[in-house]
Amino acid sequence: MRARITRRSGLTVLSNLARNICQLMFIVGVTVNLGVAEIPDPSCEAYEAWQVQSNVRSDALGIRNIAFPEANATYWGTPLEAPLGTEVLIRGRYPKARYMAFQVYDNERNVVGAINDADINPNPGQNNPFRSGSAQGTYTIRIVFGRQPIVKPANTIYTAGLTKVLLLYRIYYPDNPDDLTGGAFDPQLPTIIMNGRVLSSCPPRPIITPEDATVWGRLDNGDWAGTVPAGQPTVASNPPIWTLANTNRLTPFYPSADNSYMSTLISREYLRPPHNYDMVVLKFRAPTFTNTQAGEPPYWSTTTRQVRFWSVCTYETISTGVVRCLSDDQALQRDGFVTFVISDPSKRPSDEVLLQHAASWIAWGALQPGDHIYDINLNVLTNEQPVYYYGSILYRQTMPNPSFAQSIRAVSQLPVFQWKSAMGDYWPKIGYCTAAQFNLLGAECIGR
């Protein structure tokens, strides 16, 4: 069944994915608790800076895996409340990482102000490694409680007239993935100064080992054995339909202002009779990227590369939690193309077949017996609910080069009917396949 798409602008306020996810949440009785992001981690106090650390590898309680996080990223949060006119200072050191940014959000989880690494001027005599060189210099930025003037001062974020916001400090893909702070030092996490007082800072939380000690770490250990939703309307299609979105003032789920997204819903309905497929397969031409893991500087994305970062992730739609992500440098490539297979472990193609078709496997996700996850209201979800029956795929691009005409950001400005042709080979071809079809044909199984 193919959904009908009407002509509309690529600047759609809320994507089809977001609407469908909201529909799923309504069906299963999930409502949004806007205070979840203000609950301190177990080792932190409510008065401390960076009291919230969201990274699936360090989330001891499993309550931070919400709002479609990138699994290679860490998000530190600090709620701030002050009268209009108040200025908050942030002093920090640039990390060794693919991307870094500060962004503030309203109580609807929409971004209202932001500044990214390349736009942050370093302190006098210091270096910004996101612009040139490699030395990790220091910086100072301001958060002003008020509305942004016509001419925005450097190194300044405004709160759009709000007196209460959530400040997120975001690091994507540190050069050393086991150092979530990206090797920053003195300070390790940025210092926040409010009303002339330095806020005490909760230290970074450690990565939990082994990975299987967390529920997130076990999501790819076994096949799905959950509950089939009864009496629910179909919210996914065959083939899955992509929607494009740029982050804007009304994009929910704490998005990065520097990201653009392609998203689609998938359903296990098509793995059951009468369809009997085994997997979802997608293939597209990969944009070139700054491979900081191989020693390339991040600022090459402004000259010789098409994007700073890209990744493909799978998510559980009711909880909005990430299952697995594969980043640009982790995906197998052949002739500039990447192929992804999304399935349960028992349907995972062999390593030989994956290599033959230059494909990478990503788990659909499934709870193991006795495990549970949380929704965004901190309600417990188990296999008695239809978790991991639906899934979502998010293709994320960060800081595309303005000259990259086929980027998600550029193409999303066009009318919907032009998206696919404008993106060309960069458009992800997607569909359901059987294991036998993929083993024989690779991504050519799509549409068979």
- For residue range 22-72, what is the model confidence (pLDDT) as tens digits? 444 433 343 334 456 678 998 899 999 999 999 999 998 889 999 899 999
* 241 and 125 both lie in a single domain: no
> What 3-state class would DSSP assign to 417?
helix
- CA dist 15 to 7, 266, 268, 295, 323, Å? 14, 15, 22, 36, 21
419 or 33: whose pLDDT is higher? 419
* 161 and 253 both lie in a single domain: no
* 330 and 412 both lie in a single domain: yes
pLDDT of 68 reads: 92
* 188 and 221 both lie in a single domain: no
* 159 and 232 both lie in a single domain: no
* 348 and 223 both lie in a single domain: yes
DSSP 77: E
Does 172 reside within a domain? yes
Boundary-marking domain end, from 147, 177, 211: 211
Confidence of residue 14 (pLDDT cuts 50, 70, 90): very low
**Which of 35-39, 288-292, 425-429 has the least mean pLDDT?**
35-39
> What 3-state class would DSSP assign to 149?
coil
36 or 9: whose pLDDT is higher? 36
Does 392 reside within a domain? yes
Sign of dihedral through CA atoms 294, 300, 301, 304?
negative
Confidence of residue 109 (pLDDT cuts 50, 70, 90): confident
* 146 and 258 both lie in a single domain: no
Rounded mean pLDDT, 250-255: 68
Sign of dihedral through CA atoms 107, 311, 439, 240?
positive
Return the HEC string of 197-243. EECCECCCCCCCCCHHHCCHHHCCCCCCCCCCCCCCCCCCCCCCCCE
* 247 and 336 both lie in a single domain: yes
**Tally of CB atoms within 10 A around 86:** 16
Does 5 reside within a domain? no
Question: Which residues face 93 on adjacent strands?
Answer: 138
Q: Which amino acid is at 145?
A: F
Does 231 reside within a domain? yes
- The reported pTM is 0.90
**Tally of CB atoms within 10 A around 370:** 8
Does 29 reside within a domain? no
Say how many domains are in the chain. Answer: 2
Q: Which amino acid is at 356?
A: Q
38 or 399: whose pLDDT is higher? 399
Boundary-marking domain end, from 179, 211, 243: 211
pLDDT of 137 reads: 98
pLDDT of 31 reads: 38
Looking up tokens 């309504």, which residue turns up?
26
Q: Which two tokens stand for residue 139?
A: 């910086």
Rounded mean pLDDT, 147-167: 96
Boundary-marking domain end, from 161, 184, 211: 211
Does 275 reside within a domain? yes
* 176 and 219 both lie in a single domain: no
Residue 310 has pLDDT above 60, yes or no: yes
Q: Which two tokens stand for residue 314?
A: 């799978």
Q: 231: phi > 0 → left, psi -120 to 50 → alpha, else beta; which? A: left
- φ/ψ of 171, rounded to 5, equals -125, 125
* 196 and 295 both lie in a single domain: no
* 172 and 152 both lie in a single domain: yes
List, in order, residues 6 or more apart from 309 with CB less than 8 Å away.
98, 99, 172, 173, 289, 290, 327, 328, 396, 397, 398, 399
* 299 and 422 both lie in a single domain: yes
What CATH number did the domain enclosing 97 receive? Answer: 2.60.40
DSSP 132: S
Looking up tokens 């205070």, which residue turns up?
35
Does 17 reside within a domain? no
Does 30 reside within a domain? no
Q: Which domain holds residue 138?
A: 36-211
- φ/ψ of 419, rounded to 5, equals -55, -55
